[in-house]
Chains A and B, each alone.
Chain A
């Protein structure tokens, strides 16, 4: 068969729609999916912002009112700065909200840029565990608590670091898939 003949089969066969649409169900699904999309996009950033800010303020106030521990003040400042950093990048991300009148190539470029942002943010957040763990360890020792307690805290942070690596790999694989797709599109 020549391609023109395949085209005729295509046009003739697609004359009659093969599906009926349940409009009420569709409308309900659109409304619920719309909510879930917003939720997924925001949740990891908002968690980073709120947790770092709340813990930072809590540590700062707690040690300001009690016995002043230098490393805990430093830790509080560090966590508040981390929260501000994520907030700033979230603001930048939201300024480049997806536009819909785009070609597939532009859409993929945007998806790759978003994936790059997620990979970078997850890597930074993972590396950020190191100074937080170190400052917590030193603060605990400065406060005169047992070494074993301080070691326990370090083990906790080590586990968090490992879990962070797992999350980072998910984003990295997603980015790699998108880049592969981009290469497929541009390949001649």
Chain B
């Protein structure tokens, strides 16, 4: 694969699957600078991995896999080790926040906030679950058994529905 073909495919996937990337970065990074940094990390990994894509799974499953692996490793990097000088120098932001008005915004924000309280592994399971992925797909992406996924999913669902009942009581 030539670099030009790689770039072309990358641009195509970036447009097609940008929502997937955005959901992952919103669940793992909580400031504009961190979101920008994580987005760059994920897209860099995706770009680097294009030549090794063997079409064993769908593009979206494969991109989820790269995104979660990168996001989890990224969130474990100590903040002090990030190159802050490089960030300051890089004034030009890669991600620009858009004004999106949706009646579900408040509830969606609440949902993202609750997801952020989960540990890194449970966060990825929750995102996949909300996307409608099956236990089998989640198990393949994470590399754990379906029964293990089942146990984790049960716990996550229970915790989220319990919390949602609380906010219904106090109103959102």
Contact = CB atoms under 8 A, between A and B. Distances in A.
A181 B11 CA distance: 32
29 contacts: A1-B168, A3-B157, A3-B160, A6-B130, A10-B130, A12-B108, A13-B104, A13-B108, A14-B22, A18-B97, A19-B98, A20-B95, A25-B93, A29-B94, A33-B44, A34-B48, A100-B52, A101-B65, A103-B141, A104-B69, A104-B121, A104-B142, A104-B143, A106-B143, A107-B73, A108-B72, A178-B76, A181-B120, A185-B142
Interface in B123-158: 124, 129-132, 140-144, 147-148, 151-152, 157
B49 interface: yes
Interface string B32-69: 00010001110111011100111011000010011011
Contact of A184 (B14, B68, B121, B168): B121
Contacts of A188: 147-148, 151-152
B44 A34 contact: yes
Interface string A114-130: 00000000000000000
A111 interface: yes
Given A13-B111, A30-B47, A36-B83, 18 more contacts: A6-B111, A11-B130, A12-B108, A13-B104, A13-B108, A18-B97, A21-B18, A23-B11, A26-B43, A30-B43, A37-B44, A101-B56, A101-B62, A102-B65, A103-B140, A104-B124, A107-B143, A186-B144
B61 to A, nearest CB: 10
Interface of A: 1-3, 5-7, 9-23, 25-26, 29-30, 33-34, 36-37, 99-108, 111, 177-178, 181, 184-186, 188
Interface residues of B, number: 69
B19 A181 contact: no
B96 interface: yes
A103 B142 contact: yes
A22 B93 contact: yes
A144 B148 CA distance: 69
Nearest to A28: B92
Nearest to A178: B76
Determine chain B's interface SS by DSSP, over half rule.
helix
A30 B53 contact: no
A16 B11 CA distance: 19
A43 B111 CA distance: 43
Interface of B: 11, 14, 18-19, 22-23, 26, 35, 39-41, 43-45, 47-49, 52-54, 56-57, 62, 65-66, 68-69, 72-73, 76, 83, 90, 92-98, 100, 102, 104-105, 107-108, 111, 119-121, 124, 129-132, 140-144, 147-148, 151-152, 157, 160-161, 164-165, 168
Contact of B49 (A12, A17, A19, A100): A100
Contacts of B144: 103, 105, 185-186
A102 B69 contact: yes
A159 to B, nearest CB: 23
B84 to A, nearest CB: 14
A14 B124 contact: no
A24 to B, nearest CB: 8
B105 to A, nearest CB: 7
A21 B141 CA distance: 26
A30 B41 CA distance: 8
B94 A25 contact: yes
Contacts of A16: 98, 100, 102
